[in-house]
């Protein structure tokens, strides 16, 4: 990415995207989701597949809050439960990270999302006859749709680096890269300084941030603002005959109960859905260009984002960072997709 010359201030002036009017037919967003599917990632994948304005070309698994093997199984389980009219391509991971996201705010991950990452939803995966690696699927999909595909990463960015090893021009062929991860001002969730997706593979995050491509970061500061509590759960469609409604309530009910029991919180953050909204509803956000690096070797600060806040720019901005979210609009987007799907018999 080559942003214009910055003012001698800490950041670029904040801007909010404005929707534009057009008489042309709505073009569907071509999207690939790279995820370590726990409860909220699963919900995010569901919403993306159900949104008629999104064409989910592929789902690629990565290790993170679950192991790589479990991530593969969870991707299949989500699709099996949804049984969509069009199945996206599936990418499987064989990579296990040395630092899985084992806890959030000192609570072990299995207590928050269940032993398999999907709460009390049993996995229904089978061994694929000819599995393709996540990195290979990423490269193939982008090569077949150059400059048209948005890649949304909901977990560690390991697969993006592996895709670049296969095809060095991979990121230049991507339309834009939306990354959920890191924290700018609010501190971390896995450690005092670091957010889980970056902590799990800080070298990958650093590689991506320093790469020359269009990329947007959805930090914890922003994604944590999109929340759901027990009261808001009632705003979601409930239909005992709908497999979509059943799965949504199964996932969210588990997440809300575990958050109350183990974190003492009456709500949950819909981090993945905030990142999805950033990909397909950019008008809900404000953003700034920043110069961001990643600490890869610190004993206490592994995965911490380092933002150059000096008044005189010593380093060119390398990352667009979201700074504000219209959380009401984002929540309405999420609920609207679910309501439309249920009303249409999904």
Per-residue pLDDT tens digits for 31-51: 999 999 999 999 999 999 999
Residue 7's CB is within 10 A of a number of other CB atoms, namely 10
Range in 8-12, 91-95, 170-174, 265-269 the model is least confident about: 8-12
Is 19 within the bounds of a domain?
Answer: no
Assign 241 to helix, strand or coil.
coil
Whether residue 5 is contained in a domain is answered as: no
**Residue 10 domain-assigned?**
no
Strands 15-16 and 305-307 come out as unpaired
Asked, for residue 8, whether it belongs to a domain, the answer is no
The string of DSSP letters for 269-302 reads E-HHHHHHHHHH-GGGEEEEEE-EEE--S-TTTT
Lowest-pLDDT range, 25-34, 225-234, 262-271, 300-309? 25-34
In the numeric block, the tokens 């999302």 are attached to: 113
Q: List 286's β-bridge partners, or say none.
A: 16, 324
Residue 25 has a pLDDT of: 55
- The count of other CB atoms within 10 Å of the CB of residue 192 is 10
User: How many CA atoms does the CB half-sphere of 64 hold within 13 Å?
Assistant: 33
Torsion of CA 155, 156, 157, 162, to 10 degrees: -110
Is 23 within a domain? Answer: no
223-253 as b/e: b if 16+ CB within 10 A: bbbbbbeeebbeebbeeeebebbebbbbbbe
pLDDT for the residue numbered 130: 76
Position 23 scores a pLDDT of 45
Q: Which of 106, 102, 112, 99 is nearest to 40 (CA)?
A: 112
Length of the chain: 346
- Tell me which DSSP letter residue 2 carries: -
- More confident position, 12 or 85: 85
Residue 173 scores a pLDDT above 90: yes
Task: Note whether residue 11 is domain-resident.
Answer: no
Supply the range of the domain harboring residue 204: 28-343
* 6 in a structural domain: no
Kindly state whether residue 21 falls inside one of the protein's structural domains.
Answer: no
Is the predicted pLDDT of residue 180 greater than 80, yes or no? yes
Res. 21 pLDDT band, cuts 50 70 90? very low
In this prediction, residue 13 carries a pLDDT of 44
Q: Taking 60 as the threshold, does the pLDDT of residue 15 lie above it?
A: no
Q: For tokens 């600060």, name the residue.
A: 301
Using one digit for the tens of pLDDT, what is the confidence trace for 44-91? 999 999 999 999 999 999 999 999 999 999 999 999 999 999 999 999
CB 208 within 8 A of CB 170: no
Q: Is 163 helix (H, G, I), strand (E, B) or coil?
A: helix
The CATH number of the domain where 70 resides is what? Answer: 3.90.245.10
The H-assigned helical ranges of the chain are 39-50, 68-82, 109-113, 134-144, 158-166, 170-173, 196-200, 202-210, 220-223, 230-233, 243-258, 271-280, 327-343
**pLDDT value for 26:** 66
Tokens at 85, concatenated: 């009219």
Q: Which residue has the tokens 């799907």?
A: 341
- Structural domain count, the chain: 1
Q: Describe the crossing of helices 271-280 and 39-50 by its angle, rounded to 10 degrees.
A: 30
């Amino acid at each position: 990415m080559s942003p214009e010359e910055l003012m001698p201030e800490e950041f670029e002036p904040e801007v909010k995207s404005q929707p534009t009017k057009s008489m042309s037919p709505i073009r569907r967003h071509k999207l690939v989701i790279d995820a370590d599917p726990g409860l909220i990632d699963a919900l995010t994948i569901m919403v993306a597949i159900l949104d008629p304005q999104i064409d989910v070309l592929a789902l690629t698994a990565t290790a993170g809050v679950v192991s790589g093997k479990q991530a593969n199984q969870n991707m299949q389980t989500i699709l099996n439960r949804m049984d969509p009219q069009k199945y996206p391509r599936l990418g499987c991971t064989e990579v296990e990270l040395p630092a899985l996201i084992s806890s959030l705010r000192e609570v072990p991950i299995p207590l928050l999302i269940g032993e398999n990452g999907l709460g009390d939803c049993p996995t229904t995966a089978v061994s694929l006859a000819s599995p393709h690696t996540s990195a290979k699927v990423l490269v193939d999909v982008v090569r077949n749709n150059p400059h048209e595909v948005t890649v949304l990463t909901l977990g560690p960015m390991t697969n993006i680096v592996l895709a670049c090893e296969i095809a060095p021009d991979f990121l230049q062929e991507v339309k834009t890269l939306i990354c959920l991860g890191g924290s700018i001002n609010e501190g971390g969730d896995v450690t005092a300084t670091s957010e889980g997706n970056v902590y799990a593979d800080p070298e990958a995050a650093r590689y991506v941030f320093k790469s020359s491509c269009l990329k947007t970061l959805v930090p914890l500061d922003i994604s944590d603002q999109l929340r759901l509590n027990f009261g808001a759960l009632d705003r979601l469609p409930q239909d005992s005959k709908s497999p979509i409604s059943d799965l949504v309530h199964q996932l969210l009910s588990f997440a809300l109960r575990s958050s109350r029991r183990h974190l003492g919180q009456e709500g949950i953050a819909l981090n993945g859905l905030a990142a999805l909204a950033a990909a397909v509803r950019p008008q809900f956000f404000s953003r700034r260009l920043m110069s961001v690096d990643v600490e890869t070797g610190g004993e206490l600060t592994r995965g911490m984002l380092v933002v150059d806040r000096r008044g005189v720019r010593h380093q060119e901005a390398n990352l667009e960072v979201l700074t504000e979210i219209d959380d009401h609009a984002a929540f309405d987007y999420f609920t609207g997709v679910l309501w439309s799907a249920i009303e249409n018999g999904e």
